[in-house]
Amino acid sequence: MQRDLKFALVGAGFIGRSHALAIHAVNRTFPSVPIGAKAHILAELDEGRARRAAAELGFDRWTTSWEEAVDEADAVVIAVPSFMHRAIALRTLEQGKPLLCEKPVGLAVGEAAELHAAAVRTGAPNAVGFTYVRQPVVQHARQIVRSGALGRVLHLRGRHAEDYLADPAVPHSWRLNAATAGRYGALGDLGYHIIAMLRMICGPVAGLSGVTRTVHATRPDPASGGQPRVVDNEDYAAAVLRFANGAVGTVEASRIAAGRKMDIAFEITCERGTIAFDGERMNELEVFEIGQNQAEQGFRRILANPAHPFYAGFLPAPGHQLGFNDLKTIELAMFLKAIAEGKSAEPDLSDALRISRICEALLDSAESGRWIENPEDYAGK
């Protein structure tokens, strides 16, 4: 072991808890990772939450000051709502400390650009919590496409759909408020993930045209006894895409897709076959290869197994299945390995900036009806 890093975790809500479990699991799951992760200090909003979460999640100390947590730690995980990302990330990067920041990285493109610039200036290693790109079968799909075994990518479709806001009676929350979640709704929450996945497999996006819809324009506000409060961002977003490698396709994000719980999915059609993935069956990949005997033609279902990246850290036997929290352990393992090599881990703040620009371009295109070239370099309207 090169050294131990004392981690600060800022925010112990939904995703903060997964990060905490990963900090404890990473060195036992991946003993070859050359840096140790220690659960040192946990920051939460108030004393009760901080004390309870630190005890439950096995941290040495707790605080209600994220500044104290950043200053005291060797490395920082940011797991708070988007409007808090910028300040915490800047303080971490300015101290040259490794930073693992949750997506979408700030409220808007400007903040993502500022954080990327700070990381470049200070050289602080960084990574962004694009959880789903870590799935062993998705990494395997990337290897198949990048190897050229199925030929060039012709067309593809990607989708991340969930139904946590399908019911109009679900109350207003920070995710629906421009001041706390920024301009992106379903895009910022879900679209970021599927765009990150498609980019990782197929490379940069070269052009797009977007469409969005906010179906439930108001929601009951718990702060005012359930009075209707305006929803600031979209429930559904979609785009037609052209990739730099010539492939064309579609991507969509929905937070109102009744019945869908974790429908992060893609289908990539290549010259000699097709690869399909469905996040509700995250341990499976479907592959079809042209040239099979017609009587037996069909997709092969490949179960996640130790030959796929990272799987063997968890299990020696094929088909025994990983879960969501395991993806955060993989994410941290990749990050610690990158830190040991003095690098950032993909997807990092530069990828997050490019994905932010794609989302900004998609929203502007939806408003104007314009096709936008080179959205990864998009400078705004």
Ligand X SMILES: NC(=O)c1ccc[n+]([C@@H]2O[C@H](COP(=O)([O-])OP(=O)(O)OC[C@H]3O[C@@H](n4cnc5c(N)ncnc54)[C@H](O)[C@@H]3O)[C@@H](O)[C@H]2O)c1
Q: Residues in the site for ligand X, rule: CB under 6 A? A: 10-16, 43-45, 49, 66, 79-82, 84, 102-103, 129, 131, 189
Please, what is the angle between helix 324-340 and helix 14-29, to 10°? 60
Could you give the angle at the alpha carbon of 262 between the alpha carbons of 369 and 338, nearest 5°?
90
247/337 Cα distance (integer angstroms): 32
Least Å distance, CB 53 to ligand X, is 8
Nearer to ligand X, 144 or 186 (CB): 186
Least Å distance, CB 364 to ligand X, is 21
Burial environment of residue 224 by CB neighbours within 10 A (0 to 12, 13 to 18, 19 or more):
exposed
Nearer to ligand X, 127 or 285 (CB): 127
53/17 Cα distance (integer angstroms): 9
Residue nearest ligand X (C-beta atom): 13
Phi, psi torsion values for 26, nearest 5 degrees: -60, -45
Pairing assessment for the beta strands 263-270 and 153-161 based on DSSP bridges: antiparallel
Q: Which of 191, 183, 160, 164 is nearest to 231 (CA)?
A: 183
Least Å distance, CB 50 to ligand X, is 8
Interior/surface letters 97-129, b for 16+ CB within 10 angstroms, e for the rest: bbbbbbbbbbbbbebbbbbbebbeebebbbbbb
Nearer to ligand X, 81 or 309 (CB): 81
The residues that bridge with 155 in the sheet, in sequence order, are 248, 269
Alpha helices in the chain (DSSP H): 14-29, 47-56, 66-72, 85-94, 109-122, 136-147, 178-181, 186, 192-202, 311-314, 324-340, 349-368
Alpha carbon distances (Å) from 250 to 17, 155, 160: 33, 9, 12
Nearer to ligand X, 14 or 223 (CB): 14
Nearer to ligand X, 243 or 310 (CB): 310
Least Å distance, CB 60 to ligand X, is 17
Nearer to ligand X, 45 or 244 (CB): 45
Region for 50 from its dihedrals, namely left if φ exceeds 0, alpha if ψ lies in -120 to 50, beta otherwise? alpha
| 86: Cβ contacts below 8 Å, ≥ 6 apart | 106, 107, 111, 114, 115
| 111: Cβ contacts below 8 Å, ≥ 6 apart | 85, 86, 105
Least Å distance, CB 54 to ligand X, is 12
Nearer to ligand X, 41 or 201 (CB): 41
Least Å distance, CB 90 to ligand X, is 14
Least Å distance, CB 88 to ligand X, is 8
Least Å distance, CB 12 to ligand X, is 5
Least Å distance, CB 228 to ligand X, is 22
Nearer to ligand X, 68 or 284 (CB): 68
Q: Which of 166, 190, 307, 181 is nearest to 238 (CA)?
A: 190
173/72 Cα distance (integer angstroms): 31
Nearer to ligand X, 15 or 302 (CB): 15
Classified as helix, coil or strand, 235 is coil
Least Å distance, CB 256 to ligand X, is 17
Nearer to ligand X, 89 or 153 (CB): 89
Contact 330, 310 (CB under 8 A): yes
